[in-house]
Structure 1
Amino acid sequence: MQAKAKKIIFIAVLIVGCIITSLISTNDKEKTLPVSSLLQSAQGAVTSKAAQTKTVRVQVSGAVLEPGIYDVHASCRVEEAIAAAGGMTENADSERVNLVRKVRDGMQIRVPVQKAARTSRTQRKSAQAKSGLGESASKKYGSAKAGSGRNNSMMQNVRINSASAGELQQLPGIGPALAQRIVETRKGGRFTSADDLLRVPGIGKAKLAKLRDYVEVD
């Protein structure tokens, strides 16, 4: 009888021991799981942060306010890269740009100009070029036309003793400075003949020969 009781007690102790061991093991697992989960979360956060901080370099050009080279997030779209360059100009053709395309390192994003704006700009440059040619031609041939006018008999002679500086400038080869010298010279003594113009600094025999037919001594 005593042996049977001891056997029962042993079995009971063994069962209790198994239960306690099982409970302890369960508690250890419950404590270990949160630590592993925290480590995985931390690693995921680090990876996510690294992805967010990674940048690529792109060039934005064309119809934008501030063309140039920009460092943008690796995950951003073309629209964001254009925004970094100040956005599009008023004449930008946004329909020809894929704004939702993802950017990549070394990418060039060119925003085209509207066709009407390009045509207008081309026409304006062409008009400016033609205007410049017209002005050049006028400067080139204007003096020749003026000279040919002075070579005919329709031009009235200029009275060198009474003509103003402005009137003296009508003579061939006489500019503002030389006209003023003629006025200053005659103050020292009137001109008695066209040859007296040789007294004026800057007028030599060659220039006098051109003036002789257009001056009159009064």
Structure 2
Amino acid sequence: MQAKAKKLIFIAVLLTGCIITSLISTNDKEKALPGGSSLQSAQGAVTSKAAQAKTVRVQVSGAVLEPGIYDLPASCRVEEAIAAAGGLTENADSERVNLVRKVRDGMQIRVPAQKDARTSRTQRKNAQATAGYSASSTKKVGGTKAGSGRNSSMMQIVRINSASAGELQQLPGIGPALAQRIVETRNSGRFTSADDLLRVPGIGKAKLAKLRAYVEID
């Protein structure tokens, strides 16, 4: 009987130990879960921030085919941003843009147009506007030039729809820059009266009053 009682006591102690060990293990796991969850959340936040940092938003404008705002990889350069905007136009001046510069968030990339290209187009328009005119677009005018005291026999009537930029410079107060603007304005729509010269940037009512006697609509 004593041996049997000892055996029962041993089994009871063993079962009690197993139960206690199981409870301790469960508590340790439950304590570890909040910490593990926090670690996973922190890792997820870092991953999310890293993903956000991999893209930037930039504006591409100027001489590109499709100006606009683009989301690009943070590691890309200006030439890739321009490619995303459809590439350069025919008159883009790529020499004035640093194509290998890295882009940054909020950056504006503006591609300028070639000045030479604009000048060339203007010259072609001028040549077309004056082509076919065999007669001179200017003629002498008598009298005295108002406000100058100079003999206006040196002044000429200028046909403003056909005169070249050089001939327009014979008008009082018209220099090379203003003559060029007159030609450019004329190319966008012929003058129908002297008052149309007010469309030209730099010509106001006072200057128009001085020009009226020396211009002619043809």
What interval of TM-score do these two structures reach, taking the shorter chain for normalisation? 0.3 to 0.5
**TM (normalized to structure 2)?**
0.37
**TM (normalized to structure 1)?**
0.37
Structure with the bigger percentage of helix: 1
